[in-house]
């Protein structure tokens, strides 16, 4: 009996030792996937996408059921390889037993993939899938609103706007004005110019700071050849929606030229740059105006001051090269070209 007890004890000790060795080895040599995933998220926060991709690939290699790792991997790849991102996200839709929250995230990611691929119908379908899971999902409603705006389906845009307002309970002046703009655009599409102008004017009255209405009011006045009012409204749009202001730069220049007021172009671009000194389209156009006036030195200084150190954007360098053609030596011009080539190479390899 004692011998039997002795051998059983040895076996238990040996088994415990083996189990301890196995788990100790595993924890030492095989990092846990949750740790790797956390590191990948930290890398994403730091915009170190290469490291994030490497870590996420390690996660899914060790755990093929780690849906969130696949999800984030696709999100990173979307920028440069949207087709691959869509394939990854599409493969997740057939996974069984997923929670509603995860399903929503998957279809959101797919919608963004298809938008990146310019497959707008597929993008809308994915947003509809989100609404099928959560009918009050504001992200999906906002996405569908942006899709309607993109294809100029103003009736649908108005419908999505109303649904968003119903859920949020907010009907601010900007929302009301945007809704009126949509109605005006629908009238404009049907050739009802005067009715369209009426809606745009109501939008301006409802929300004077909403730039969108001024843009289309300018277009309406251009159609009737009232270029003075067209310029006034386009300029009002530009200073209120500085990010999209370049959409009307060419129109303003052309109208002022036709009106014999081209000298006012310089002041307009200076107003834009007073609001947003980083508006590079305004910088380039103002530099062209200065060069036409014979102020090449001022134009060159303007461009040089706007070029950000370390920027990979070569537009400033190209403009600088253009302005330097008559004043720089061939060696200096060659050096400028070399610098642009280095930027392009860095951007390609980065």
Beta-strand ranges (E) seen in the chain are none
Tell me if residue 327 falls in helix, strand or coil.
coil
pLDDT digits (tens, 9 = 90+) for 163-210: 898 898 876 677 778 888 988 998 988 899 999 999 999 999 989 999
Kindly tell me if the per-residue pLDDT of 350 is higher than 60: no
| pLDDT number for residue 119 | 95
Residue 11: band (very low, low, confident or very high) from pLDDT cuts 50, 70, 90? very low
Alpha carbon distance, N-terminus to C-terminus of the chain? 73
Find the mean pLDDT for residues 53-57. Answer: 81
| pLDDT number for residue 333 | 59
What is the dihedral angle through the alpha carbons of 149, 150, 156, 162, rounded to the nearest 10 degrees? Answer: -30
| pLDDT number for residue 339 | 64
SS3 content of the chain, % helix, strand, coil (to 5): 80, 0, 20
Kindly tell me if the per-residue pLDDT of 250 is higher than 90: yes
| pLDDT number for residue 349 | 61
d(CA 175, CA 274): 28
| pLDDT number for residue 154 | 81
Angle at 23 between CA 21 and CA 24, to 5 degrees: 60
Kindly tell me if the per-residue pLDDT of 341 is higher than 50: yes
Lowest mean pLDDT among 85-94, 171-180, 191-200, 219-228: 171-180
Angle at 193 between CA 192 and CA 199, to 5 degrees: 95
Kindly tell me if the per-residue pLDDT of 102 is higher than 80: yes
> What token pair was written down for 315?
């537009």
pLDDT digits (tens, 9 = 90+) for 123-164: 999 999 999 999 999 999 999 999 998 888 888 888 888 889
d(CA 50, CA 318): 30
| pLDDT number for residue 82 | 93
């Amino acid at each position: 009996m004692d011998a039997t007890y002795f051998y059983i004890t040895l076996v238990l000790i040996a088994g415990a030792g083996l189990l301890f060795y196995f788990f100790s080895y595993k924890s030492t040599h095989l990092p846990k996937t949750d740790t790797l995933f956390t590191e990948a998220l930290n890398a994403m926060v730091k915009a170190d996408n290469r490291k994030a991709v490497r870590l996420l690939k390690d996660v899914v290699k060790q755990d093929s059921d780690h849906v969130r790792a696949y999800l984030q991997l696709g999100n990173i790849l979307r920028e440069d390889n949207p087709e691959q991102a869509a394939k990854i996200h599409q493969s997740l839709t057939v996974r069984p037993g997923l929670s509603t929250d995860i399903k929503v995230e998957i279809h959101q990611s797919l919608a963004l993939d298809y938008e990146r691929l310019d497959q707008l119908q597929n993008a809308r379908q994915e947003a509809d899938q989100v609404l099928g899971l959560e009918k009050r999902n504001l992200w999906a409603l906002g996405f569908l609103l942006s899709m309607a705006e993109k294809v100029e389906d103003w009736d649908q845009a108005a419908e999505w706007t109303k649904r968003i307002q119903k859920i949020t309970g907010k009907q601010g002046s900007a929302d009301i004005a945007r809704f009126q703009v949509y109605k005006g655009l629908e009238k404009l599409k049907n050739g009802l110019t005067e009715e369209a102008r009426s809606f745009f004017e109501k939008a301006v009255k409802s929300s004077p700071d909403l730039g969108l209405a001024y843009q289309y009011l300018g277009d309406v006045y251009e159609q009737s050849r009232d270029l003075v009012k067209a310029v006034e409204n386009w300029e009002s749009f530009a200073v209120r929606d500085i990010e999209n202001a370049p959409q009307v730069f060419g129109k303003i220049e052309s109208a002022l030229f036709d009106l014999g007021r081209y000298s006012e172009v310089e002041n307009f671009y200076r107003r834009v740059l007073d609001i947003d000194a980083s508006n590079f389209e305004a910088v380039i156009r103002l530099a062209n105006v200065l060069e036409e006036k014979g102020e090449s030195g001022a134009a060159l200084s303007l461009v040089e001051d706007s070029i950000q150190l370390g920027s990979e954007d070569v537009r400033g360098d190209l403009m600088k090269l253009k302005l330097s053609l008559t004043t720089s030596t061939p060696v200096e011009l060659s050096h400028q070209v070399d610098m642009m080539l280095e930027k392009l190479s860095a951007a390609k390899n980065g």
